[in-house]
Amino acid sequence: MGLELLFPIRPDEGSSTLRKTPRCQAAWTPQREPREARTTNSVDSDELLCPRSAAQSRRTSRERAPAAAPPTSQARGGPERAPIGCSAAALAKADIISTVEFNYNGDLLATGDKGGRVVIFQREQENKSRPHTRGEYNVYSTFQSHEPEFDYLKSLEIEEKINKIKWLPQQNAAHFLLSTNDKTIKLWKISERDKRAEGYNLKDEDGRLRDPFRITALRVPILKPMDLMVEASPRRIFANAHTYHINSISVNSDHETYLSADDLRINLWHLEITGRSFNIVDIKPANMEELTEVITASEFHPHHCNVFVYSSSRGSVRLCDMRAAALCDQHAKLFEEPEDPSSRSFFSEIISSISDVSFSHSGRYMMTRDYLSVKVWDLHMESRPVETYQVHEYLRGKLCSLYENDCIFDKFECCWSGDDSAIMTGSYNNFFRMFERTTLRDVTLEASRENSKPRALLKPRKVCTGGKRKRDEISVDSLDFSSKILHTSWHPADDIVAVAATNNLYIFQDKVH
């Protein structure tokens, strides 16, 4: 499996608009205006009771309140040139990518970051004079999805970080996507406008109202061409339904409803109704001291609108059927692998926590990601996974140090190829792993600035766990745990993948012969 880099994308220092450099050195460099420092001293009592360890509690994100975002627009064409280069000290936390998602046909790629911004990239159409441009993605639109807010009732700050982005199937010329932070989900419409109306009767061309008594003739407004504008406007805001932090959203196959999940509850929404949602899963006990697990991820089945799954921090996945009951407290199936007592340790419960769950496109299989491995389950067999792939087993001996620096609580995502024949997930040192299910071959690749020349072929990397290290290998003691790939996405039809490495977005495709 040979992958070549299309180009890297890096938010960095620069202007307030996205700037694009020449194709051989593509990089985007936004900068935000400084915000006032915000502090919070109070903690919600419910959050204190949420079942997290002492180390996990240090990583608990701050709560946020719902906020509406004004419509924004971006003119396409005529980007300014910007220099490449950024020191590590200049890396802004707000520019760290927090989610990556292709749309249903793969022509658009959306990213969200910790600053609450959504950036959308559009795939270039095929050009006979430039055959290699097909597959390249350029900036299409960028807008501020969420703003930082403050919950005055609980004295808690609500961050603007985008937790998840999910595209809706395209029904007309416009595109729609759902974006969420910890508390508020928004439905955005992304549309193009290349004409403007002129010749109004009640206002001048500059927008000022005219004196009605001076209007002597009736004019018919006409449409005139203009520079193409891409507008993003919030069409729905779904708020005030989650006490805990939202970790998942999933659009149903009926294209009318979607679910949102937090630590203890899952809600079902209709896309046209913002003021009401239905609680379909609630695992919160009457006494919070009896709580033993939390919900970590949830997803709808790709074909059956009544079926969904949710994973837990104890390593189990429950499949629920909404036809059985309105409140799906009783699962239809439980997928859980028995633990080997001989291998149990202090870290067993932490590393068994599932960070992501994803159905295959066919709907026959389901993939889960825990800290050290990826497992593929057949929905017809609950007792054990049909496939298990070790992602970074060489870290098992370093769990103590990973616990001390909180890396053991990192949440890695996983994704399927378009034909379900391969899977991909991230690791440390900006490594990402790809596994072919039929041949059982696997490869470790690195997304880095050093080998970021466009069309450069990626070389497989190997980690040396002990003994004499070969020239092309890297020692496990030399891995950079601050450089990690948590978020990945695979094109639904082609062999094109997008991986987010801190504040860099890399897009790779299978080698073109």
Residue 370 structure tokens: 């825990």
pLDDT value of residue 345: 87
- What is 117-154 written as a DSSP string? EEEEEEEPPPBTTBGGGTT-EEEEEEEE----EEETTT
Judged by average pLDDT, the poorest of 40-44, 287-291, 352-356, 358-362 is: 40-44
Q: When comparing pLDDT for 218 and 367, which is higher?
A: 367
Share above pLDDT 90 across residues of the chain, in percent, rounded to a whole number? 60
Nearest CA among 237, 251, 150 for reference residue 187: 237
pLDDT value of residue 436: 96
Share above pLDDT 70 across residues of the chain, in percent, rounded to a whole number? 80
Q: Is the pLDDT of residue 278 over 80?
A: yes
pLDDT value of residue 10: 55
Q: Is the pLDDT of residue 207 over 80?
A: no
What distance in Å separates the CA atoms of residue 58 and residue 49, rounded to the nearest whole number? 14
- Residue-wise pLDDT for 295-347, tens only, equals 999 999 999 999 999 999 999 999 999 999 989 989 999 999 988 888 788 89
3-state secondary structure of 32: coil
Cα angle value 198/202/203 (rounded, 5°): 55
Please, which residues bridge with residue 279 across strands? 267
pLDDT value of residue 513: 47
Distances in whole angstroms, Cα of residue 485 to Cα of each of 62, 116, 361, 481: 23, 19, 23, 10
Mean pLDDT of the chain: 82
Q: Per-residue confidence at 507, pLDDT binned at 50, 70, 90? A: very high
Number of Cα atoms under 13 Å in the Cβ half of residue 355: 20
What distance in Å separates the CA atoms of residue 371 and residue 411, rounded to the nearest whole number? 8
Tell whether the torsion through CA atoms of 70, 73, 79 and 80 is positive or negative: negative
Tokens 């627009």 belong to 73
pLDDT value of residue 134: 59
Q: Per-residue confidence at 84, pLDDT binned at 50, 70, 90? A: very low
Q: Is the pLDDT of residue 173 over 50?
A: yes
To the question of pTM greater than 0.85 for the whole model, the response is no
- What is 276-307 written as a DSSP string? --EEEEE---SSGGG----EEEEEE-SS-TTE
Tell whether the torsion through CA atoms of 472, 505, 138 and 136 is positive or negative: positive
Q: Per-residue confidence at 95, pLDDT binned at 50, 70, 90? A: very high
R_g over Cα of the chain? 24
- What is 320-350 written as a DSSP string? EETTT-SS--S-SEEE-PPP-GGG--TTHHH
pLDDT value of residue 50: 41
Would you give the distance in Å from CA 339 to the centre of its chain? Answer: 30
Q: Is the pLDDT of residue 429 over 80?
A: yes
What distance in Å separates the CA atoms of residue 267 and residue 276, rounded to the nearest whole number? 10
Judged by average pLDDT, the poorest of 30-34, 141-145, 231-235, 456-460 is: 30-34
